[in-house]
Structure 1
Amino acid sequence: MARPNPNEVTKIGVIGTGVIGGGWALHFLRMGMEVVAYDPGPNAKEKLMSMIENVWPTIEKLGLREGASIENLHFVSSLEDMVLRVQVIQENTPERLGAKRALFAELDRITPPDVVIISSTSGFPMTEMAVDLQEQPERFVVGHPFNPPYLMPFCEVCGGERTSQDVVDWTAEFYEAMEKQVAKMDKELPGFIGNRLQEAIWREALYMVKNKECTVEDIDKAIIHGMGLRWAIMGHCLTFHLGGGQGGMEYLLDHFEDSLDAPWTRLKAPELTQELKDDMVQGCLNQANGASIDELVQERDDCLIRIMQTLNEYRTEKGIKR
């Protein structure tokens, strides 16, 4: 089976059908694709179907491509069955390096040679996961989404030392055909782009709660009603460009150069004491105000759709490409 053009893929395999894998399955179903899913976990099929049934009304709000249907999902009982039926594979197994290495070695052995194998890993470089590959390591690549994959329109693509550039380019084009904004990375970096940025904020948040400097609610208010509103429009760097006034980023960098050495950040992770864990958990429960996880997911998804629709309408009207 020859590798199809990125915009002509119609059948995709999804390995691991938890939060991320299930989210990918939903996204690909929305794109009108046939999804062949495999997960050896207990009651995996039932859990996936429950997730799909709960989220499908949200998927319909986003708009369905021609042919999109839950009926296009097929759950199989073996890797061997899955790999022979698909044109590309999205792997979403737990973040355990040894297990991923073993799985990739098996996929390398049994998967037809033209099938690209993409990992959703959130932190492992492909070079570390691909050490045991003997057949075709050049077709293994990272495609890291943001959660939930069926909604967030961003994906990071990064190859390993033995990944071919053709596969990196093919994967980026495939995701773009699947309506994703793609960051195609030139070098491997643990955590990639988004998670490294999130981790810096996360560690600062943990320190502020640990030191009783503010509450969990205060931290989230600062993001929701402060920088988060700006980030949805322009991102961090372009926002700071505006912070320099008419002088832009050049003025801002010159103006704040000395303060960059100020001890504002504490990037080494704090010890997760029981007290800190309790404070973080209680702070989140306070914010949830009795809402269940499913209710919070619905709120998040509905609001994200409205924000994205508003931004798309404005940018289309103004001819802005960003």
Structure 2
Amino acid sequence: MSEAGGQPSRVRTIAVIGAGVAGRGFALACAAAGFDVVLEDVMPSNLRRAEAEFADLGDAAGRLELARTVEDAVRDADVAVDFVPDELESKLEIFSLIDRMAPPKTIICTPSEAMSITDLASCVYRPERCVAVRGRLGGAESVRVLYPDGVLPETLRVVGDLLRAFGAEPRMEPDPDVPVLMKNLTRKSL
């Protein structure tokens, strides 16, 4: 994600997976902040609602595009943010889909109050580009950005810059949720 001369590039396109209340609100906040957003949801009514709310924004600095599939949403994404239910099966499924369909540069960001980003990242080919956010995305408050071992500094910089664009103050922290499997392996190896 660097431009010529080694300067970091800015986030241009954000894929938002899930157009329920939280996903739709985040997508609209991204568009209002000047980002190009591709919003996907399995429910056409959620997408229509997002389209109407985007029209009500008036002169948004960014653009909102609606996608019918995850593949269409993440095709050119710099960052993909999921708003699927905060449960293991849903998160694993969406991480897998994004990982297979997005370009290698894409950062996978998940708002999660319950899931270990270490566990989720271990199931994809780009664990160094995965983070979890605890706190309200798109809000002007302090949010925790949790990351697994081996995360790229560029990943943290990009996510931090994105959150600061909304007035949030990101706190970068290693994932405190050491996976149960790792705890058991460590105990057995001692």
TM class by smaller structure: 0.7 to 0.9
The residue aligned with 1:19 is 21
- Alpha-carbon offset, residue 159 of structure 1: 0.6
Q: What code does the residue aligned with 1:47 have?
A: R
Is the alpha carbon distance of 1:189 and 1:156 closer, same or farther for their aligned partners in structure 2, counting shifts above 3 Å? Answer: same
2:65 aligned with 1:74: yes
The residue aligned with 1:160 is 148
Percent identical among aligned pairs is 23
Q: How does 1:204-223 map to 2 (within 5 A)?
A: none
d(CA) in 2 for partners of 1:138, 1:184: 14
Q: Which moved more, 1:160-169 or 1:89-98?
A: 160-169
Query: SS state of the match for residue 123, structure 1?
Result: coil
d(CA) in 2 for partners of 1:114, 1:154: 26
Could you tell me whether the CA contact under 8 Å between 2:140 and 2:169 is conserved in 1?
no
- Alpha-carbon offset, residue 101 of structure 1: 0.7
d(CA) in 2 for partners of 1:38, 1:161: 30
> 1:217-255 deviations in whole A, cap 9, x for unaligned?
xxxxxxxxxxxxxxxxxxxxxxxxxxxxxxxxxxxxxxx
- Structure ranking higher on relative contact order (CA contacts 8 Å, 6+ apart): 2
Number of residue-to-residue matches in the alignment: 175
Q: How does 1:144-293 map to 2 (within 5 A)?
A: 144-146=134-136, 149-189=137-177
Query: SS state of the match for residue 81, structure 2?
Result: strand
d(CA) in 1 for partners of 2:78, 2:23: 17
Out of 115, 126, 138, which is 1:136 matched to? 126
Query: Which has the larger share of strand?
Result: 2
Could you tell me whether the CA contact under 8 Å between 1:104 and 1:129 is conserved in 2?
yes
d(CA) in 2 for partners of 1:86, 1:40: 19
The residue aligned with 1:243 is none
Could you tell me whether the CA contact under 8 Å between 2:128 and 2:150 is conserved in 1?
yes
Could you tell me whether the CA contact under 8 Å between 1:6 and 1:171 is conserved in 2?
no
d(CA) in 1 for partners of 2:176, 2:53: 33
The residue aligned with 1:39 is 41
d(CA) in 1 for partners of 2:175, 2:14: 27
Could you tell me whether the CA contact under 8 Å between 2:117 and 2:130 is conserved in 1?
yes
Query: SS state of the match for residue 179, structure 1?
Result: coil
Q: CA RMSD in A?
A: 2.7
The residue aligned with 1:49 is 51
Runs of 4+ in 1 over 4 A off after TM superposition: 3-7, 50-54
2:96 aligned with 1:105: yes
Q: What code does the residue aligned with 2:134 have?
A: H
**Over alpha carbons, which structure has the higher Rg?**
1
2:119 aligned with 1:117: no
The residue aligned with 1:89 is 80
Could you tell me whether the CA contact under 8 Å between 2:139 and 2:166 is conserved in 1?
no
- Alpha-carbon offset, residue 158 of structure 1: 0.8
TM-score normalised per structure 2: 0.77
Query: Which has the larger share of helix?
Result: 1
Could you tell me whether the CA contact under 8 Å between 1:101 and 1:131 is conserved in 2?
no
- Alpha-carbon offset, residue 142 of structure 1: 1.0
5+ residue gaps, structure 1: 191-322
- Alpha-carbon offset, residue 127 of structure 1: 1.6
The residue aligned with 2:11 is 9
d(CA) in 2 for partners of 1:141, 1:85: 19
